[in-house]
Amino acid sequence: MIFNEKKEIYGVDIKGFYVKIAKKNPGIHCITNIVSANDCANILLAMGASPVMAQHVLDAGEISGGCDALVCNFGATGAYDAMYEAAKSAALLKHPIVADPVGVGASAYRRSCFLDFISKFKVSCIRGNISEIRALHEKRPTARGVDVSEYELKNNSGDESVLFKNAEWIREFSLKVNCIVVCSGETDIVTDGKNTVFVTDGCILMSRVSATGCMASAVTAAFLSVENSFISAAASISFMGRCGEYALKHLERGTSGIGSGSFRVGLIDAAGLIFNE
Ligand SMILES: Nc1ncnc2c1ncn2[C@@H]1O[C@H](COP(=O)(O)OP(=O)(O)OP(=O)(O)O)[C@@H](O)[C@H]1O
Ligand SMILES: Cc1ncsc1CCO
């Protein structure tokens, strides 16, 4: 479900976006980390997009030029020069760029690379977890690695007033960096500085599988490739959550529940099957 601060529900046609993506078969250039590359490629393929994982500095520009959208995932900070070349091409062609600040709460170097990147290129959307977004906003370390910090887990336990307070500084951040921000978590916060919505789709298992955030960023790039807008970004994170819910519903439950390994596969299956019913 997508709603705003007045609790008005947004009726977004997620299937409409999905059909447009399948019809267009957009090329999505992903410069992403070694953990997520395979899952990002497969979730994009499942939903009818065409992923290209390419991170050599000498061909990233050309490859991005042949695609429809670019994802720069800073879990692959070692490929920063390739991101730079790819973004030059994408910017020239006005392709949407999604930047994923993986791990910026844990590394000053990564933070400075990310802030440098978004200052040089017009990024359509930043998608990260709350520790990553806070690290960029407050320009300080917030986490020990790529996962959301204990501090945020303790302080964001479903309390609506905390959610709305977070939405306020995330909105300020969005205005500062002049792009859409998707802050993922139990309730995703999506803002472009003017509009803010909350997305409750998803399930807890999504946080127990590595790279679901990286996949969400790749999925967002596919959505933005058919419509580069705030609503499209909100629809993409809602779609991701719905895929998680679909996987949970359709996976066979063993006597001890659903394993995170099976859930990971179920999530990719869901991206292909969700609108078949
Ligand atoms: N507790 C939860 N309940 C429901 N959905 C969740 C929960 N935690 C995460 N999600 C969903 O999982 C996806 C990934 O979000 P998350 O915040 O875990 O990303 P991340 O920490 O950047 O992931 P990663 O670093 O593993 O790629 C989003 O679609 C989000 O809505
Ligand atoms: C980069 C990375 N390192 C550990 S897991 C992961 C994937 C996204 O968080």
| pLDDT of 277 strictly over 80 | no
What confidence score (pLDDT) does residue 29 get? 99
Contact assessment for residue 99 and residue 80, using Cβ atoms and an 8 Å cutoff: no
Report residue 7's pLDDT band, with 50, 70 and 90 as the boundaries: very high
The count of domains in the chain is 1
What confidence score (pLDDT) does residue 199 get? 98
Report residue 156's pLDDT band, with 50, 70 and 90 as the boundaries: confident
DSSP E strand boundaries for the chain: 2-3, 27-31, 50-53, 69-73, 97-100, 125-129, 180-184, 188-191, 196-199
| pLDDT of 154 strictly over 90 | no
Nearest CA to ligand 2 atom 4: 146
Q: What are phi and psi of 53, to 5 degrees?
A: -100, 110
What confidence score (pLDDT) does residue 84 get? 98
Average pLDDT of the segment spanning 142-165: 90
CATH number of the domain within which 241 lies: 3.40.1190.20
Q: How many residues does the chain have?
A: 277
Residue 217 tokens, joined:
């960023």
Degrees to nearest 5, angle at CA 248 with 167 and 148: 35
Q: Please give the residue range of the domain that contains residue 19.
A: 2-273
Contact assessment for residue 199 and residue 238, using Cβ atoms and an 8 Å cutoff: yes
Q: What is the average pLDDT score of the chain?
A: 97
The set of protein residues with a Cβ atom below 6 angstroms from ligand 2 is 33, 35-36, 75, 102, 146, 210-211, 213-214
pTM: 0.98
Residue of 92, 90, 138, 85 lying closest to 115 (CA atoms)? 138
What confidence score (pLDDT) does residue 261 get? 97
Average pLDDT of the segment spanning 211-216: 98
What confidence score (pLDDT) does residue 123 get? 98
What confidence score (pLDDT) does residue 76 get? 98
Atom of ligand 1 nearest to the CA of 146: 25
**Residues 268, 269, 275, 277, Cα dihedral to 10°:** -160
Q: Give the Å distance between the CA of 115 and the centre of ligand 2.
A: 19
Average pLDDT of the segment spanning 225-234: 98
Return all residues near 205 (Cβ < 8 A) that are at least 6 apart.
Answer: 244, 247, 248, 258, 260, 263
Angle between helices 14-24 and 212-226 (to 10 degrees): 80
Q: Give the Å distance between the CA of 7 and the centre of ligand 2.
A: 34
Q: Give the Å distance between the CA of 113 and the centre of ligand 2.
A: 17
